[in-house]
Amino acid sequence: MNLSYWETKTWFSNIDFCIVGSGITGLNCALNLKTRFPKSNILVLERGMLPNGASTKNAGFACFGSISEILDDLNSHSEEEVLQLIQKRLKGLNLLRKNLGDKNIGYKEYGGYELFTKEDRPLFEECKAKLPELNKMLEPLFGEAVFSIQKDSFGFRNIEKKLIFNQFEGQLNTGEMMETLLYKVQKAGIKILNNVNVEEFTEAKNSVKIKTDKLEFLARKLLIATNGFSEKLGIAQVKPARAQVLITKPIKNLKIKGTFHLDKGYYYFRNIDDCILFGGGRNLDFKTEETTEMAQTKLIQQKLEELLKNTILPETSFEIEHRWSGIMGVGKQKKPIVKQISENVYCGVRLGGMGVAIGSLVGKELSELII
Ligand SMILES: Cc1cc2nc3c(=O)[nH]c(=O)nc-3n(C[C@H](O)[C@H](O)[C@H](O)COP(=O)(O)OP(=O)(O)OC[C@H]3O[C@@H](n4cnc5c(N)ncnc54)[C@H](O)[C@@H]3O)c2cc1C
């Protein structure tokens, strides 16, 4: 790229902090750095025309774990660890809502429901039996019982007639959330450059040399917030996990309202603008879905349509309006990786399926690695 004197001086000189990735983590990191170091020169680099990972692709569940998920976590983590995980999600959601405002992100607390298939009856029985114990465990965080049992009033088919309701689960408008966040970042005087792919970096004297597909330059500190794409920048503990989604055309008199989890959370759906947004099915083919390629597969899309027809909307005719996918970053552990990698390089990655909840907090924690 043949840059002018002006371009080099204005955009690529004296950069204090360069952040890779303009998802929820990278943008929150940038905002927090600007608050802590108001005079700093901050540059965010994003490979996509828009943020192009998970933050603008997700389902917009403001959740902290369904009952079966929490029970599953208790099999592999201590009670204290599970409480810490939930507390982090809660703290992250509160931070997101405080920073951006409920109205600006379309936040609605309609509650969340877990559905159980007939095959999952043993799991349903276990969840029912452990419900009082779990409510007691969560009481210090919520001050009230979180979970209760409710009759299915939505007319679902091929599932248990009773659902487990979580009164504190919410939903938001993902597009509005990211638009508000991007606006806030730009208003704070932080530069964002799109369509720039960071290819590699090397430590230089008191700085980092950053090589992109367009140019090379120096920054004092580099902060990586690339989540599912982090392997390409040498962070091997994060694997990509594609999540596929579809949305119906508007449905007249749609009765479904809230966020819904099915098959231990492998499927999720919600109402938005009189439509049903439905995603999941990664468990049908984990291997193929371990990819950073944004595409859909017949296997998963067909299964989503089949569940929509036979379980979620058995009495309602519907049409599919649109399909898409996004890339999450997962690993052996659920805890995000927020750490220093080398003298001037840091990362905040591996947010799993909970980045709406924890992204604001992970971004803040990443910025706090800079002292
Ligand atoms: C379909 C789907 C549904 C989901 N539903 C929910 C939900 O309902 N609730 C919830 O809490 N979470 C959900 N998640 C997870 C959540 O969206 C993510 O955890 C969160 O968005 C991660 O944010 P991030 O900023 O860390 O990563 P990302 O949003 O992926 O941001 C990383 C950014 O880095 C950019 N990038 C990557 N590599 C480079 C490079 N080399 N150079 C320049 N730029 C680069 C990418 O383009 C991307 O914009 C869902 C995810 C998906 C995919």
* Per-residue model confidence as pLDDT tens digits over 84-120: 999 999 999 999 999 999 999 999 999 999 999 989 9
Out of 105, 182, 229, 304, mutate this one to test ligand 1's pocket (max ligand atoms within 8 Å of CB): namely 229
SS3 label, residue 237: coil
| Rg of the chain in Å (alpha carbons) | 21
Q: Which residues contact 10 (CB under 8 A, 6 or more apart)?
A: none
Residue nearest ligand 1's atom 52 by CA:
58
pLDDT at 12: 96
Instruction: Give the whole-angstrom CA distance, residue 275 versus residue 254.
Output: 8
Give the residue-averaged pLDDT of 131-145: 95
Nearest to 50 by CA among 24, 32, 16: 24
Out of 32, 55, 292, mutate this one to test ligand 1's pocket (max ligand atoms within 8 Å of CB): namely 55
pLDDT at 264: 86
Whether residue 281 is predicted with pLDDT greater than 90 in this model: the reply is: yes
Amino acid at 284: L
C-alpha 313 to ligand 1 mean position (Å): 29
C-alpha 28 to ligand 1 mean position (Å): 13
> For the chain, where are the alpha helices, taking DSSP H only?
5-11, 24-36, 67-76, 79-100, 102-105, 121-142, 174-187, 286-289, 298-307, 355-367
SS3 label, residue 166: strand
CB 225 within 8 A of CB 19: yes
* Ligand 1: nearest atom to the Cα of 324: 1
C-alpha 370 to ligand 1 mean position (Å): 23
Instruction: Give the whole-angstrom CA distance, residue 151 versus residue 166.
Output: 13
Give the range among 12-16, 80-84, 176-180 with minimum mean pLDDT: 80-84
Strands 239-248 and 320-330: antiparallel
pLDDT at 334: 83
Residues constituting the chain? 371
CB 15 within 8 A of CB 37: no
Whether residue 339 is predicted with pLDDT greater than 90 in this model: the reply is: yes
C-alpha 118 to ligand 1 mean position (Å): 33
Q: List, chain by chain if needed, residues with CB within 6 Å of any ligand 1 atom.
A: 20-26, 45-48, 51-55, 57-61, 197-198, 225-229, 232-233, 243, 245, 279, 326, 328, 351, 353-357, 359
Instruction: Give the whole-angstrom CA distance, residue 280 versus residue 307.
Output: 11
pLDDT at 76: 85
Token pair 């004197």: residue: 5
Q: State percent of the chain over pLDDT 90.
A: 95
* Ligand 1: nearest atom to the Cα of 244: 1
DSSP element (H, E) containing 218: strand 216-224
Running DSSP on this structure, what letter comes out for residue 353?
G
Instruction: Give the whole-angstrom CA distance, residue 263 versus residue 118.
Output: 10
Instruction: Give the whole-angstrom CA distance, residue 51 versus residue 27.
Output: 10
Instruction: Give the whole-angstrom CA distance, residue 270 versus residue 60.
Output: 9
Whether residue 1 is predicted with pLDDT greater than 90 in this model: the reply is: no
Q: Cβ–Cβ contacts within 10 Å for residue 308, how many?
A: 20
CB 214 within 8 A of CB 196: yes
pLDDT at 337: 97
Question: The dihedral of CA 345, 48, 238, 97: what is its sign?
Answer: positive
Instruction: Give the whole-angstrom CA distance, residue 359 versus residue 363.
Output: 6
For the segment 183-236, what is each residue's pLDDT rounded down to a tens digit? 999 999 999 999 999 999 999 989 999 999 999 999 999 999 999 999 999 999
Q: Cβ–Cβ contacts within 10 Å for residue 302, how many?
A: 12
Give the residue-averaged pLDDT of 65-80: 92
Strand ranges inside 30-135, DSSP E: 42-45, 61-62, 112-115
C-alpha 229 to ligand 1 mean position (Å): 9
| Residue 121, burial from CB neighbour count under 10 angstroms (0-12, 13-18, 19+) | exposed
Whether residue 332 is predicted with pLDDT greater than 90 in this model: the reply is: no
C-alpha 80 to ligand 1 mean position (Å): 28
CB 22 within 8 A of CB 193: no
- Supply the mean pLDDT for the chain: 96
Nearest to 227 by CA among 51, 348, 60: 348
Whether residue 43 is predicted with pLDDT greater than 90 in this model: the reply is: yes
* Ligand 1: nearest atom to the Cα of 199: 41
Residue nearest ligand 1's atom 32 by CA:
226
C-alpha 34 to ligand 1 mean position (Å): 22
* Ligand 1: nearest atom to the Cα of 356: 11
Spell 216-238 as b/e; 16+ CB within 10 A means b: ebbbbbbbbbbbbbbbebebeeb
Phi-psi domain of 279 (left: phi exceeds 0; alpha: psi -120 through 50; beta: other): beta
